Structure 1
């Protein structure tokens, strides 16, 4: 495992739980892993947190790279992934990342519950640039409820989601930064279609939306 830019310190009071766990974000891991397996190659996880998705992806792809600006999250990921050789952890802000050479770009770029922490337009533009031609961008995101339709949709999901939470034994939320989304799904779709024409954005369960976009083979 390669670690870039890690500030090492004792994780005082942080429980280093290496097992899998369930919450409204990990609920989408299986479909992300299945999609990533189709292409293999190099996979970038933006906002990798404690590295659970990287751990689960690693056996099925050539290399997994996780980037997160949070020092503690990267330290926990380091402990989780210490025995996995095809992992690179980067302790940095994705928007400050250099664009890799064409041959080093990513077959799959994944971003789970992280896009709303960044400037939407800037993040999508950079994701497009770091993705290899023919690669796929996969986002699980959060949107703000601004319209009556948004509020009704979320309201209808409230009881079913609570039932599923109980079915899974409750949620576990690792120590992560919490930021409320500011764009509605309508606003997100408008920006997405400008930057990623043809992308599919749809409402999902657990108060999430999904985005998928395939980069044209002829685009560098």
Structure 2
């Protein structure tokens, strides 16, 4: 199956670079058609993708049929059982999916499925609510259109669309409460990056 470019796959390279360094077991929440899993698989011990959409799940199964270290789950991350300590993940990735879920519940669950010292990497969308949000979005409009054209335009399979509910300020507030020490930074293509390393157990 072909690769493609859009505002989400634009971040795949840095997510793969993380896998090259850390390897281990990687969970991709909202894996869609499996393109990121395909790119991660050569650099991880095991990659697991979960997505509730049946059509996306079937496309992922087709794409990854010959990849031996991939496990696909057609289901809801928030109802996924917490894995045993031995089966928790060294990296959890979530690209343009967090805004489809309850923010706080999802962050708590992501913490639960990570091993101590594990990494959480979220590429997310935030709602524009404050004046600064609208100003930044306006300033990005032309440069993003130029980059879109340079890449041949937006491509990719049809996926479920949901408008983000929380602003970046509200996301940071929740993150500070649930994942102390996490960093949330605005990124290009109207996205933000949430990065967090789960503290190791000192007991």
TM range, normalised to the smaller chain? over 0.9
> What is the distance in 2 between the residues matched to 1:179 and 1:36?
28
Say what the alpha-carbon RMSD is for the aligned residues: 1.0
Gaps of 5+ in 2: none
**Alpha-carbon offset, residue 174 of structure 1:** 1.1
* Pair 88,219 (structure 1): closer, same or farther in 2 beyond 3 Å: farther
CA distance in structure 2 between the aligned counterparts of 1:108 and 1:148, rounded to whole angstroms:
35
The normalised TM-score by structure 2 is 0.98
Cα distance in 2 for residues equivalent to 1:154 and 1:198? 26
Aligned length: 203
- Return structure 1 stretches of 4+ with deviation > 4 angstroms: none
Equivalences for residues 7-26 of structure 1 within 5 A: 18-26=1-9
What TM-score, normalized to structure 1?
Answer: 0.91
Deviations along 1:188-207, one digit per CA (max 9) or x if unpaired, are 00000000001010000000
Superposed, 1:1-220 pairs within 5 Å as 18-218=1-201
**Offset from partner CA, 1:49-84 (integer Å, 9 cap, x none):** 000000000000100000000000000000000000
Residue 175 of structure 1 deviates from its aligned partner by 1.5
Q: Secondary structure of 2:157's match? A: coil
Q: CA deviation at 1:173?
A: 3.2
Residue pair 1:199, 1:214 contacting (<8 A) in 2 also: yes
